[in-house]
């Protein structure tokens, strides 16, 4: 039996380390991936301690390994809880982050202290301090399960529901098996193998990864290579309208590095952000469909760049929303039109509204002026562009490539209030 436990612990050490590094390499900047690596590394050290304890014939060395391997065993549930909090988008709440990084640390630190100083956990199995150690682990794991249950109830994303179900079942089974196996090991004076039991939990995580794109395939990994070679500007937003990824074209237009754009709210980049965000919200909730618009992106130096964009929802095979895709082109021709024909900024705004098919009354309402003022602006535009009517104006604008090229169910023009 000892040989079996020894081989199993050694294999678990290798498996935990390989899995941890594999996930870390996928995206080492992701807090979720880093915490996965932390708890698999702790499980690996825990398994290594068991392996060395089984391997040595000397009681003094065995006791040393026992003192040490309960340290990663004490911290492992803490990082599991932190991992679940990040996964369910709860860790960024200020109270939870402060509580996790102060009060919660006391419990694994105390457990590590009593193990190092007196080997109390191993010596009292399966009662007293051993019971306290296992109870502490179960409390952390139970809280993680409750958080996952709550997440499964409130999320509308089918993929997240399936992921939560897998992890809840795996967590419950792991807790029960750990208690039973370690209690029996303590009763018969055998080495505990709870670090090996946790392999079931890790295997469940791997299943969730491969089956439901859990950590393995985030939107940036799926899109990065494809969109880098697209000559149009590409931005992908999450459900909070924060930037998931952007391609080099939009980086050049905004004069910003990609990594300064990631996780930034799109409202900070769009001049007409109030109306644009409102339309994005209606698109996300299904109240409206895809739409095109002319908006101004704000460059790093504060200058504005006119863009012709189309916004649409991207879904996965489960029909869950991956994000909002914004595809656009810089409208350079308007600046040329203004410079060549002395068109004012207000006249350019009127032209934008005409392009969208709005009549004088609607344009006046948007710009907050009288209809007579709009007629005066249009007269000036006709004179400067040497046209006699809107048909001739539209032909000229088409020649300047100023008509929207993005086809969508709706076309909007926004104006900053």
What is the CATH classification number for the domain harbouring 157? 1.20.1070.10
Separation of alpha carbons 104 and 110, rounded Å: 11
Same domain, 231 and 358: yes
Q: Which residue has the tokens 């392009």?
A: 355
Same domain, 275 and 185: no
> Whole-number mean pLDDT of the chain?
83
Show which of 152, 184, 212 is a domain's final residue. 212
From residue 68, how far is each of 63, 111, 181, 238, 374 by CA, in Å? Answer: 9, 11, 20, 43, 80
Buried b (16+ CB within 10 A) or exposed e, 373-382: bbeebbebbe
Same domain, 120 and 12: yes
Same domain, 204 and 227: no
Q: Is the pLDDT of residue 405 over 60?
A: no
Same domain, 203 and 227: no
From residue 299, how far is each of 258, 267, 404, 416 by CA, in Å? Answer: 13, 13, 22, 16
Q: Is the pLDDT of residue 165 over 80?
A: yes
Cross-strand partners of 233: 328
Same domain, 302 and 199: no
From residue 175, how far is each of 137, 145, 184, 242, 260 by CA, in Å? Answer: 9, 11, 14, 37, 42
Q: Is the peptide bond before 334 cis (omega within 30 degrees of 0)?
A: no
Phi then psi for 126, rounded to 5 degrees? -100, 30
Could you read off the pLDDT of 179-222 as tens digits, one per residue?
A: 887 777 767 766 666 777 888 888 887 777 666 655 544 444 55
Q: Which residue range(s) make up the domain with 245?
A: 219-413
**Whether the Cβ atoms of residue 374 and residue 255 lie closer than 8 Å to each other:** no
User: Residue 408 — very low, low, confident or very high, per pLDDT cuts 50/70/90?
Assistant: very low
User: Residue 78 — very low, low, confident or very high, per pLDDT cuts 50/70/90?
Assistant: very high
Separation of alpha carbons 380 and 364, rounded Å: 16
Of 185 and 274, the one with more pLDDT: 274
- Calculate helix-pair angle for 345-355, 360-367, nearest 10 degrees: 130
**pLDDT given for residue 174 in this prediction:** 87
Same domain, 207 and 257: no
Separation of alpha carbons 306 and 401, rounded Å: 13
Same domain, 390 and 326: yes
Show which of 179, 212, 245 is a domain's final residue. 212
**Whether the Cβ atoms of residue 350 and residue 402 lie closer than 8 Å to each other:** no
Could you read off the pLDDT of 285-301 as tens digits, one per residue?
A: 888 888 888 788 988 88
**Whether the Cβ atoms of residue 69 and residue 50 lie closer than 8 Å to each other:** yes
Separation of alpha carbons 273 and 267, rounded Å: 5
Separation of alpha carbons 343 and 278, rounded Å: 30
Same domain, 28 and 94: yes
From residue 24, how far is each of 21, 53, 124, 204, 275 by CA, in Å? Answer: 5, 29, 37, 18, 39
Number of independent structural domains in the chain: 2
Same domain, 355 and 402: yes
Nearest CA among 398, 389, 353 for reference residue 371: 353
Query: What is the reported pTM?
Result: 0.58
User: Residue 225 — very low, low, confident or very high, per pLDDT cuts 50/70/90?
Assistant: low
Range 17-22 contact pairs with CB under 8 angstroms and sequence separation of 24 or more: 17/41, 17/44, 19/202, 19/206, 20/44
Instruction: Please enumerate in sequence order all residues whose Cβ is within 8 A of that of 126, keeping only pairs 6 or more positions apart, or say none.
Output: 182, 183, 185, 186, 187
Same domain, 186 and 236: no
Same domain, 183 and 263: no
Q: What is the DSSP string of 326-343?
A: EEEEE--HHHHHHHHHT-
**pLDDT given for residue 404 in this prediction:** 60
Mean pLDDT of 46-63: 88
Separation of alpha carbons 162 and 151, rounded Å: 11
- Calculate helix-pair angle for 371-385, 345-355, nearest 10 degrees: 100
Show which of 212, 230, 256 is a domain's final residue. 212
Separation of alpha carbons 14 and 9, rounded Å: 9
Give the domain CATH number at 244: 3.30.450.20
Going across the sheet that includes 243-246, the strands are: 243-246, 233-237, 321-330, 304-315, 291-298, 410-413
Could you read off the pLDDT of 128-161 as tens digits, one per residue?
A: 888 888 888 889 989 999 999 998 898 877 778 8
């Amino acid at each position: 039996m000892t040989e079996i436990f020894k081989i199993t612990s050694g294999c678990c050490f290798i498996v935990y380390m390989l899995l941890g590094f594999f996930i870390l390499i996928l995206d080492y900047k992701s807090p979720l991936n880093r915490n996965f690596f932390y708890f698999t590394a702790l499980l690996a050290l825990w398994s290594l301690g068991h392996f060395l304890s089984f391997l040595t014939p000397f009681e003094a060395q065995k006791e040393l390994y026992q003192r040490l391997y309960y340290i990663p065993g004490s911290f492992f549930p803490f990082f599991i809880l932190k991992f679940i909090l990040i996964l369910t988008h709860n860790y960024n709440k200020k109270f939870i982050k402060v509580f996790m990084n102060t009060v919660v640390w006391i419990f694994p630190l105390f457990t590590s202290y009593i193990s190092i100083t007196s080997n109390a956990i191993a010596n009292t199995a399966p009662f007293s301090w051993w019971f306290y150690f296992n109870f502490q682990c179960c409390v952390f794991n139970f809280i993680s399960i409750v958080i996952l249950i709550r997440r499964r109830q409130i999320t509308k994303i089918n993929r997240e529901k399936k992921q939560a179900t897998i992890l809840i079942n795996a967590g419950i089974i792991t807790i029960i098996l750990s208690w039973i196996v370690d209690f029996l090991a303590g009763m018969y004076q055998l080495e505990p193998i709870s670090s090996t039991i946790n392999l079931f939990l890790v295997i469940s995580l791997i299943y969730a990864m491969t089956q439901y794109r859990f950590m393995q395939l985030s939107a940036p990994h799926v899109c990065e290579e494809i969109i880098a070679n697209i000559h149009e500007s590409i931005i992908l937003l999450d459900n909070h309208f924060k930037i998931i990824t952007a391609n080099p074209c939009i980086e050049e237009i905004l004069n910003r590095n990609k990594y300064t754009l990631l996780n930034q709210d799109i409202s900070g980049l769009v001049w007409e952000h109030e109306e644009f965000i409102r339309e994005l919200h209606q698109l996300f909730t299904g109240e409206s469909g895809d739409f095109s618009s002319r908006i101004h992106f704000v460059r790093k130096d504060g200058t504005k760049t006119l863009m012709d964009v189309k916004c649409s929802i991207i879904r996965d095979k489960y029909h869950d929303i991956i994000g909002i895709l914004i595809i656009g082109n810089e409208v350079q021709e308007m600046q040329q039109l203004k410079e060549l024909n002395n068109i004012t900024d207000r006249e350019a705004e009127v032209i934008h509204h005409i392009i969208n098919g709005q009549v004088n009354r609607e344009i006046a309402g948007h710009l907050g002026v009288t209809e007579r003022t709009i007629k005066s602006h249009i007269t000036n535009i006709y004179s400067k562009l040497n046209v006699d009517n809107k048909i001739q104006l539209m032909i000229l604008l088409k020649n300047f490539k100023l008509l929207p090229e993005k086809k969508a169910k709706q076309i909007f023009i926004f104006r900053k209030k």
